[in-house]
Amino acid sequence: AQSVSQHNHHVILSEAASLELGCNYSYGGTVNLFWYVQYPGQHLQLLLKYFSGDPLVKGIKGFEAEFIKSKFSFNLRKPSVQWSDTAEYFCAVNPYTGNQFYFGTGTSLTVIP
Amino acid sequence: GAGVSQSPRYKVTKRGQDVALRCDPISGHVSLYWYRQALGQGPEFLTYFNYEAQQDKSGLPNDRFSAERPEGSISTLTIQRTEQRDSAMYRCASSLGGYTDTQYFGPGTRLTVL
């Protein structure tokens, strides 16, 4: 069965610190990759997505992610976090052959002002 | 425009009762997804509709769970003979087209089975 691993469950950073959240998946075929964010009291929303092409994708609010096929990874990065980035972050994988989306368990990010 | 809405937002029921959860997608969105999210976990795929056709129900945990979207718009997820383990947040998402399009999530329905 496909699985998505987010190894960082809780991350606490000070403002202006750099962020990297890990995401690894187990699926041998072609995949589409996503990062979603859920701000406190809000709905899940898309941060960025990768389908093909340049493995470095840029999303909203200064976030980016890099797809490394050989490592089955899609890590999320931001050079300098803000207090407003405090949220839950979910990595998701969509195998190219289907409509299922597999989410990781999420990483809770707290940014201290 | 209006986003995805779900009702009720909270549902408390007794074990053995049936529940129906409603999802109203964004107007014109072809695709509709249902997910279940347990506390501390990520969303778990349940089922997918393309218009009114349920094209994938591989994530439904057992035959007590069913879903429909009869007119290709509003969808209902029904859980029969609820059990305590069914307690979770049930999320609905819609997208304009297929899996390459952005999914817009609703606020979810928090189901508690006593």
A50-107: per-residue pLDDT in tens? Answer: 998 999 999 999 999 999 999 999 999 999 999 999 999 999 999 877 788 999 999 9
Q: How far is CA B54 from CA A69, A112, B59, B96, B108, in A?
A: 32, 45, 12, 16, 20
Asked if residue A60 lies in contact with residue A45, where contact means CB atoms within 8 angstroms, the answer is no
User: Which residues in chain B are contacts of A98 at CB distance < 8 A?
Assistant: 56
pLDDT over 60 (residue A39): yes
SS3 call for B86: helix
> Which tens digit of pLDDT belongs to each residue from B50-102?
999 999 999 999 999 999 999 999 999 999 999 999 999 999 999 998 777 88
Distance CA B42, CA B91 (A): 11
Sole residue written with tokens 């909203």: A60
User: Which residues in chain A are contacts of B44 at CB distance < 8 A?
Assistant: 103
What residue in A sits closest to B106 (Cα-Cα)? Answer: A43
